[in-house]
Amino acid sequence: MNLSSTSSAAEKAPRAMLWGCELNQEKRTWTVKAQQEGKQDCKLLLSTICLGEKAKEEVNLVEILPPASQEDKKTKPITIASLRASVLPMVTLMGLELSPPVTFQLRAGSGPVFLSGQERYKKKSGKRRGGSETQS
């Protein structure tokens, strides 16, 4: 068995870590930043947004805020969930992949609202556009 090819494949495989946060009356925004720096790409795969058991019977709006450094100030926040305990206490998302940093905001309601998903890391490829490899 060739160990170098096995370890090489393991190094290239994406690593995933569970991620979650709570938005509520006191903590209305949460910014996700990549936990690991360096030669790795980070993606946040958001999978579930749900109300906590102490949520009031009110509409809770969760949105993604545009980056603060963005030049175009006309970009508006994007609502990704509108939850109400008696109607829709939870949403499951598929295929929502975000690149940190990303900021979530509880625009309306008092929560608690829980967001969960995965942080996925993979090594950046060592290739440039021309197809030649770069040295690390």
pLDDT of residue 16: 83
Q: 22, 47, 63: which is closest to 120 by C-alpha?
A: 47
Domain range summary for the chain, segments of one domain joined by +:
28-123
Which pLDDT value is given to residue 122? Answer: 80
Give backbone dihedrals phi and psi of 16, rounded to 5 degrees, phi first: -125, 140
Q: Please check whether residue 58 is in contact with residue 84, taking contact to mean a CB–CB distance below 8 angstroms.
A: yes
Rg (CA), the chain: 19
Architecture field, domain 28-123: Sandwich (2.60)
Q: pLDDT tens track of the chain, all 136 residues?
A: 445 445 555 556 668 889 999 999 999 999 998 766 655 688 999 999 999 999 999 999 999 999 876 566 678 999 999 999 999 999 999 989 999 899 999 999 999 999 999 998 887 665 544 444 444 3
